[in-house]
Amino acid sequence: MKSPSFAALCLGLLPLGSVSPTTVSAQTEAAKAPAVDAYAQSIIKRASEYLADAKGVGFTAEIWEEVPVENGPVLQSTRTVEVNLRRPDRLRAEIRSARIARTLLYNGKSLTVHDALAGCYGTINTPATIDETLDAAADMGIEFPLEDVLMSKPFGDGASKATAGQYLGVEEVLGKRCHHLAFRNESFDWQAWVDEGPLPVLRKAVLHFTKEEGKPALTALFSNWRMGSNLPLSAYEFTPPPGTHKIEIIAIKEEETKTPETK
């Protein structure tokens, strides 16, 4: 059962959608109000700055991602990501699932992608910072998981470009009390759960890709935050395990992401 306030809110919202003359002033009032709630904005900004200020950061994320399937149910894939970074120029992400064992290592000069299951790795030269390297890697079709958390301005751009945003109160995420925030951007909706305690870390994030068919969702649960932790620099260097082959990294071509033509 939902609380009475729920129903009251519903009723309160109804006039917004109607066009009766009595609601004109309410609509004008709503139009003047900022689309992005200031409190929601301030919480996400604080979380972003807290993350940006840490010179060393580590965390674990469990990622669930929906995949719409033709003639089938929406599937969900799962992977775990272990991230360590040192600002501004060291980054390590280990991605694991039953069928993925991939490590991305950036040492300030180059990025190595190691696929342990295939026993192969490839290396590309990269720019001098994490931000630039994320872009350079993306241009090659290589994506770091949860990049928005890794940037020097974590999810700050997304928040500042939001067209709508709401503060939704306190909720628990795996036993931690969190501020629940929701934002709408041009091509995706996103929600964030930011720890209510003195350390405003992200505990959960959900994205819905509203421009994609089926509006698939990506959910990430964050744990084991290690703010200020610094792995030794050697942890960001790649040493090929015996029997590992070096292979070429090829950029993804446009055609490969196109829908096949039908003849």
Of 21 and 255, CB closest to other proteins:
255
Q: Are 76 and 222 in contact (CB under 8 A)?
A: no
What's the CA gap between 26 and 17, in Å, rounded? 11
Of 97, 96, 106, 187, the C-alpha closest to 142 is 106
Query: Is residue 13 close enough to count as binding other proteins by CB under 8 A?
Result: yes
CB under 8 A: which stretch of 54-62, 70-78, 80-88, 234-242 binds other proteins? 70-78
Q: Are 167 and 130 in contact (CB under 8 A)?
A: no
Q: Are 130 and 89 in contact (CB under 8 A)?
A: yes
Could you tell me the two tokens for 262? 């039908």
Angle formed by the axes of helices 4-17 and 24-32, nearest 10°: 100
Query: Is residue 32 close enough to count as binding other proteins by CB under 8 A?
Result: no
Q: From the CB of 222, what's the least distance to other proteins, in Å?
A: 15
Enumerate residues 171-200 that contact other proteins by CB under 8 A: 182, 184-191
CB under 8 A: which stretch of 43-51, 54-62, 205-213, 222-230 binds other proteins? 205-213
Q: What DSSP designation does 226 have?
A: E
Of 201 and 218, CB closest to other proteins:
218
Q: From the CB of 251, what's the least distance to other proteins, in Å?
A: 8
End-to-end CA distance of the chain: 54
What's the CA gap between 130 and 105, in Å, rounded? 11
Q: Which of 62, 82, 147, 196: binder of other proteins (CB under 8 A)?
A: 147
Query: Is residue 128 close enough to count as binding other proteins by CB under 8 A?
Result: no
Q: Which of 49, 62, 65, 196: binder of other proteins (CB under 8 A)?
A: 65
Q: Which of 3, 4, 21, 73: binder of other proteins (CB under 8 A)?
A: 73
Q: From the CB of 198, what's the least distance to other proteins, in Å?
A: 26
Q: Are 147 and 133 in contact (CB under 8 A)?
A: no
Enumerate residues 87-126 that contact other proteins by CB under 8 A: 99-100, 102, 104, 113, 115, 118, 120-122
